[in-house]
């Protein structure tokens, strides 16, 4: 009996030595065969199982390595077990299932390279699965610091901050990121953020333009770009942006911008035609009040010296302060032309709404004496 036990021990040791030799020479397939044989002949040593797990890993047999490493992961004699277990979890696409375990493994590791590998794997999981990363936003920021030109990590971060209403965070992150490395998704979020604060500076214009290049159908961004260009006096480019958009979609906001561009560039008849077309569009009042357009049309007719037509538009408008101001100005123009009756008609429209508006009451008395 004793002799048999010694023979078995000798066989186990010889088998282990042969397996270890293949292991040292990185002949992992041969090592797997011998280590598996060792288990079958009674080798229960942890070191054999550890080497078997490593051999499984290096031959792509991750499922077989996993339970062994889970058994040895807390054994201080095998510090590499933690890193290997983490790598297998990642390779088996089990990050989502074992997210907390991976974080614990990362915290227990000393090698920065191994920690970084887990950080990037978790960040990739959040991106590829569109999972909520709110609880790991610092980890995502770490991933971006490791891969400062990787747009997927930037996208997660700015999406998070945008949802939190942290406009400055979004803008600063986007500005710090290399321009040429931005993805269509990150540019889109950046553009939407600028639009949310009605930004019209040169950087915003650049971002709006790139977002439109990626997706010409983004009407909100096209409107933002048009408004920004108008604000900066770039009317020719604004006209191109707006007309290109109208060719895609007859959108109310774009039609209004078209009319404004024509008005600002002294193309008055084109502006009038554009305003009139706007008023014929379905549901245009969901964007702009009819009274505003009447005032804008009136202003166009005043610039053409068609004062009767200007008055006809103001008669149709509301009686807001803006309309009263325009009626007051139109009254002065009629008066300068010598048309006292029409001048009085303007003032009486004002008087009927607000008897205390400027000096209307006094002017009416003075002008009535001149008839």
Instruction: Provide the pLDDT for residue 8.
Output: 79
Within the chain, how many helices (H) and strands (E) appear? 21, 0
Token couple for 88: 């297998």
The residue out of 240, 266, 288 marking a domain boundary is: 288
Do 305 and 365 belong to one domain? yes
Task: Tell me the C-alpha to C-alpha distance, in Å, between residue 91 and each of 96, 105, 122, 153, 180.
Answer: 12, 15, 12, 20, 31
Do 284 and 220 belong to one domain? yes
Q: What is the CATH number of the domain that holds 276?
A: 1.25.40.10
Q: Is 160 contained in some domain?
A: no
Q: How high is the mean pLDDT in each 10-residue block of the chain (371 residues)?
A: 75 94 97 95 94 97 97 92 96 96 93 95 96 95 98 98 97 98 98 98 98 96 98 98 93 96 98 97 93 98 98 97 98 96 97 97 93 77
Do 269 and 347 belong to one domain? no
Tokens 């070191």 sit at which residue? Answer: 47
Do 267 and 322 belong to one domain? no
Do 228 and 263 belong to one domain? yes
Instruction: Provide the pLDDT for residue 183.
Output: 98
How many domains, in total, are found in the chain?
Answer: 2
Query: Where do the H-state alpha helices sit in 215-339?
Result: 219-231, 235-248, 252-264, 268-279, 290-303, 307-316, 321-337
Which residues constitute the domain of residue 218? 198-288
Q: Is 271 contained in some domain?
A: yes
Do 362 and 341 belong to one domain? yes
Instruction: Provide the pLDDT for residue 371.
Output: 77
Whether the Cβ atoms of residue 78 and residue 46 lie closer than 8 Å to each other? yes
Task: Tell me the C-alpha to C-alpha distance, in Å, between residue 88 and each of 8, 75, 167, 364.
Answer: 34, 18, 39, 90
Q: Is 108 contained in some domain?
A: no
Q: Is 75 contained in some domain?
A: no
Q: Is 321 contained in some domain?
A: yes
Do 277 and 316 belong to one domain? no
Tally Cβ neighbours within 10 Å of residue 124. Answer: 17
Q: Is 354 contained in some domain?
A: yes
Do 278 and 227 belong to one domain? yes
Do 284 and 298 belong to one domain? no
Separation between Cα atoms, residue 97 and residue 102, nearest integer Å: 10
Tally Cβ neighbours within 10 Å of residue 318. Answer: 16
- Length reported for the chain: 371
Whether the Cβ atoms of residue 53 and residue 69 lie closer than 8 Å to each other? yes
Q: Is 307 contained in some domain?
A: yes
Whether the Cβ atoms of residue 301 and residue 329 lie closer than 8 Å to each other? no
Give 50-119 as a DSSP string.
Answer: HHHHHHHHHTT-HHHHHHHHHHHTT-TT-THHHHHHHHHHHHTT-TTTTHHHHHHHHHH---HHHHHHHH
Whether the Cβ atoms of residue 300 and residue 326 lie closer than 8 Å to each other? no
Do 202 and 266 belong to one domain? yes
CA nearest neighbour of 49 among 93, 89, 92, 84: 84
The residue out of 272, 288, 304 marking a domain boundary is: 288
Do 355 and 309 belong to one domain? yes
The residue out of 288, 309, 340 marking a domain boundary is: 288
Q: Is 46 contained in some domain?
A: no
């Amino acid at each position: 009996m004793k002799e048999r036990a010694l023979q078995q021990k000798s066989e186990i040791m010889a088998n282990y030595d042969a397996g270890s030799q293949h292991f040292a020479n990185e002949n992992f397939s041969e090592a797997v065969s011998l280590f598996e044989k060792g288990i079958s002949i009674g080798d229960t040593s942890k070191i054999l199982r550890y080497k078997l797990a490593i051999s499984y890993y290096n031959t792509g047999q991750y499922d077989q390595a996993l339970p062994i490493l889970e058994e040895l992961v807390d054994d201080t004699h095998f510090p590499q077990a933690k890193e290997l277990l983490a790598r297998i979890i990642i390779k088996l696409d089990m990050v989502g299932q074992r997210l907390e375990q991976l974080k614990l493994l990362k915290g227990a590791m000393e090698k920065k390279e191994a920690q970084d590998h887990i950080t990037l794997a978790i960040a990739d999981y959040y991106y590829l699965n569109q999972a909520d990363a709110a609880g790991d936003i610092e980890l995502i920021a770490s991933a971006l610091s490791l891969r400062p030109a990787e747009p997927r990590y930037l996208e997660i971060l700015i999406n998070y901050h945008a949802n939190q209403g942290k406009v400055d965070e979004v803008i600063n992150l986007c500005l710090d990121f290399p321009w040429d490395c931005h993805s269509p998704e990150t540019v889109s979020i950046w553009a939407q953020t600028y639009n949310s604060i009605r930004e019209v500076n040169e950087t915003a214009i650049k971002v709006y333009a790139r977002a439109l290049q990626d997706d010409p159908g983004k009407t909100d961004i096209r409107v933002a770009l048009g408004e920004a260009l108008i604000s900066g006096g770039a009317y020719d480019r604004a006209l191109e942006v707006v007309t290109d958009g109208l060719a895609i979609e007859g959108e109310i906001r774009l039609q209004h911008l078209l009319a404004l561009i024509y008005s600002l560039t002294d193309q008055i008849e084109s502006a009038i035609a554009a305003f009139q077309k706007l008023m014929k569009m379905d549901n245009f009042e969901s964007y702009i009040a009819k009274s505003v357009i009447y005032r804008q049309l009136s202003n166009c007719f005043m610039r053409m010296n068609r004062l009767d037509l200007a008055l006809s538009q103001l008669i149709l408008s509301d009686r807001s302060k803006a309309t009263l101001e325009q009626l007051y100005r139109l009254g002065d123009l009629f008066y300068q032309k010598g048309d006292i009756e029409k001048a009085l008609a303007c003032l009486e429209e004002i008087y009927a709404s607000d008897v205390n508006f400027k000096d209307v009451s006094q002017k009416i008395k003075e002008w009535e004496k001149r008839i």
